[in-house]
Amino acid sequence: MQIPEIPNLIHYAIPFFIITVLIEVILTVKVKLEDYEFKDAGTSILMGLGNVAIGLLTKGVVLGLFFFIYNFYHLFEIPFSWWAWVILLFAEDLAYYWNHRIAHESRFFWASHVVHHSSKKYNLSTALRQTWTGSFYTFIFWIPLILIGFHPIMVFVQMSISLLYQYWIHTELITKMPKWFEAIFNTPSHHRVHHATNPQYLDRNHAGIFIIWDKLFGTFEPEAERPIYGLVKNIETYNPVKVAFIEWHAMFTDFSTSKISLKNRFKYLIKPPGWKHDGTSILSSHLRKEWKDKTSL
């Protein structure tokens, strides 16, 4: 089976990324009169370049698997028509929502996604801080779209469109969009919440393009107080290799802990980040509840 060549929209967007990051640097320094953290941005850019390089390998493998599944079985014959693209826009975004949500609720998926949250800054360069390992296994969330009958090329293109959309929402230069837009779409305001470590913001707003999924499934939180970015326990390094693999090392170290049951070992992989077998877990849900209890007094 010959896999057709699909142009990678992300590659074509790289010049746009460079130009807009430079514009944001100028506006941050000259207009907002704030310092710009170039070392942090450098790490983000290197992580992005690594993600693109690794994607050259994984894209062919994943696309080949998608074609294999599609040729073996799919429920409907969905054509390359305008209405199919509209349906796919929402269907792919729903798949992204659950991929993103589970990446925060299961440590095995968090091990790759933590990279994107590891910066204590929030700007367009942060959008480029991408995983080096996630593309090897997170594609499983998009397999249902193939089984339904969406052509692999359609799915790949829509995945790229979603990532391109999410680039512009990584900024503090845009405060709020019009109310109707904020009600339907993911915006800088909504996504600032997602990147924040404020207790009420933890594991909220997993949207890709449409914020409606968070509102529907109970994970929406509006931006109120100023977000504090990063991780509950920050990775204090600018080394891109350490950023890429530090959580994998920590997870498998916990998995290899002696004198615990096999069941608890695997819980270190599937339970949320922060879970401990000895009952000393401090999870995002605990921190949110503690904040809610304090504010309700």
Q: What pTM did the predictor assign?
A: 0.94
Please tell me the predicted confidence (pLDDT) of residue 61.
94
185 by DSSP, 3-state: which? strand
In this prediction, residues 267-293 reach a mean pLDDT of 93
Write the secondary structure of 16-73 as one string of H (helix), E (strand) and C (coil). HHHHHHHHHHHHHHHHCCCCCCHHHHHHHHHHHHHHHHHHHHHHHHHHHHHHHHHHHC
Looking at residue 79, what is its pLDDT? 95
Domain residue spans in the chain? 9-217
Q: Are 106 and 272 in contact (CB under 8 A)?
A: yes
Q: List residues bridging with 210 in a β-sheet.
A: 185
Lowest mean pLDDT among 133-137, 182-186, 278-282: 278-282
pLDDT in tens, 118-154: 999 999 999 999 999 999 999 999 999 999 999 999 9
Give percent of the chain above pLDDT 90: 85
Query: Between 3 and 100, whose confidence is greater?
Result: 100
Q: What is the pLDDT of residue 46?
A: 97
> Following DSSP, what letter does each residue of 192-242 receive, concatenated?
HHHTB-SGGGTT----SSBTHHHHHHT------SPP-BS-SS------HHH
Mean pLDDT for the chain overall: 94
Between 12 and 242, the more confident residue is 242
**Cα–Cα distance measured from residue 109 to residue 208, given in angstroms and rounded to the nearest whole number:** 17
**Predicted pLDDT of residue 296:** 78
Among candidates 52, 47, 44, 43, which has minimal Cα distance to 14? Answer: 52
Q: Would you state the pLDDT for residue 7?
A: 62
Q: How confident is the model at residue 160 (pLDDT cuts 50, 70, 90)?
A: very high
pLDDT in tens, 21-78: 999 999 988 777 688 999 999 999 999 999 999 999 999 999 999 999 999 999 999 9
Question: Which two structure tokens, joined as six digits, stand for 182?
Answer: 């904020």
Is residue 100 pLDDT above 60, yes or no? yes
pLDDT the model gives residue 227: 97
Grouping H, G, I as helix, E, B as strand and the rest as coil, residue 2 is coil
Q: Is the predicted pLDDT of residue 3 greater than 60, yes or no?
A: no
Predicted local confidence at residue 30, as pLDDT:
79
Phi and psi torsions of 229, nearest 5°: -90, 160
**Residue showing tokens 């900024």:** 171
Q: Is the pLDDT of residue 2 over 80?
A: no
DSSP state of 142: G
H/E element, 158: helix 152-167
Task: Inform me whether the pLDDT recorded for 241 exceeds 70.
Answer: yes
Q: What region does 218 belong to: left with phi over 0, alpha with psi -120 to 50, or beta?
A: left
Q: Is the pLDDT of residue 8 over 80?
A: no
Is the model more confident about 296 or about 74? 74
Token pair recorded at residue 131:
């995983």
Confidence of residue 203 (pLDDT cuts 50, 70, 90): very high
Residue of 13 and 82 predicted with greater confidence: 82
Exposure string over 82-100, b if 16+ CB within 10 A, otherwise e = eebbeebeebbbbbbbebb
Strand extents, DSSP E, the chain:
none
